[in-house]
Amino acid sequence: MYVVVAGGGEVGFHLAKALIEGGHEVMVIESDRHRAQFIEEQLGSVVLNAPADEGRYQLEAGCQRADAVLAVTGEDAKNLVICQLARYNCGPHGRVIARVNDPKNEIVFKTLGIEETVSSTRVLMNVIEQELPTGGFMPLMPLTGSHLELIEAEILPGSPAAGKAVRSLKLPDGSLIGGIVRGGKILAGVGEAVDRVRSHGRRVGGPQGPVRILSLPVDLVTAYGVLSVSAMLVFYWREPRAPIFSLAFAFACWASALYGWLAGAWPFAVIEIVWGGVAARRYLLRRGEADPHRRRER
């Protein structure tokens, strides 16, 4: 199996090392020269010193024949761009997997078609929540492709739900009891099934029903996100052609920042605002270099 690892930090380095030890072919793309040199000293000639968020370097790394592209840098925004480009550069059978540092950004990745994401923060939180005796509601996992999650509710002594049939419980709209665990066995959570003391119910939804993104319909937010991020990628690709594309890229970044805010992923929004400022400054510098009058003054 051939794997392209975008990002040579601690995660990318150890991931590449484990893949090589497992007999797989690996290429690491790392923009930092000193880090790339360290990886080459440790793992051999398996590193390309270049930015992974540029399509030409993904192609140079052999992305088109890769079985998988793993975006594992420490920046969610950069991982998103890498994955979007990899979807076009990879072959039809190549998988694109993203590391997501902030769990709130997972919805942004999935909305834009990056379905395979790994959030170490969410994994650790799930382990902690399952190990600590918190009682009450405990989130287990989100359901892919929706704004629902699977949660566990423990029925304690004195609970209003203790001893009642499932059909008599007044659950929030959009909630569903999938099963009741009692004595090591699971019972169907329907009809006359009774929630006895110390039972555990698996429930789909949240304590207040399905989650919504602000007050806008989800399809409008999704459509806006796809358009703004797609425009950002197109203008980023065209940027070397003319200074005006740098300005267009800046506005696309700010539009993507608005989408991140609407989706509740404010870290993504902050990063996009910064990117927009950098692109606007780059436009001013490039326009100054292209102005013949300013050249004569120099």
- Same structural domain, 78 and 131: no
Q: pLDDT tens-digit profile of 235-289?
A: 888 888 888 888 998 999 899 888 888 777 777 788 888 888 888 888 888 887 7
More confident residue, 164 or 33: 33
Q: Is residue 81 part of a domain?
A: yes
Shared domain for 6 and 89, answered yes or no, is yes
- Of 99, 132, 153, the residue that ends a domain is 99
To 10 degrees, the CA torsion angle through 210, 216, 219, 222?
-100
For the cut 60, the answer to whether the pLDDT of residue 203 exceeds it is no
For residues 166 and 177, the answer to whether their CB atoms sit within 8 Å is: yes
Query: Is 137 a member of any domain?
Result: yes
> What is the pLDDT at residue 25?
93
**72 token code pair:** 């594992």
Residue 119 lies in a domain: no
Question: Would you say residue 254 lies in a domain?
Answer: yes
Q: Which domain holds residue 46?
A: 2-99
State the CATH number of the domain containing residue 18. Answer: 3.40.50.720
Write the CATH number for 191. Answer: 3.30.70.1450
Q: Which of 154, 182, 204 is the last residue of a domain?
A: 204
Q: What is the pTM of this model?
A: 0.50
The last residue of one of the domains, among 170, 204, 238, is 204
Helix axes 10-21, 33-43, angle to 10 degrees: 20
Tally the domains of the chain: 3
**Quick one: pLDDT at residue 16?**
93
The enclosing H or E element of 30 equals strand 25-30
Question: Does 146 fall in a domain?
Answer: yes
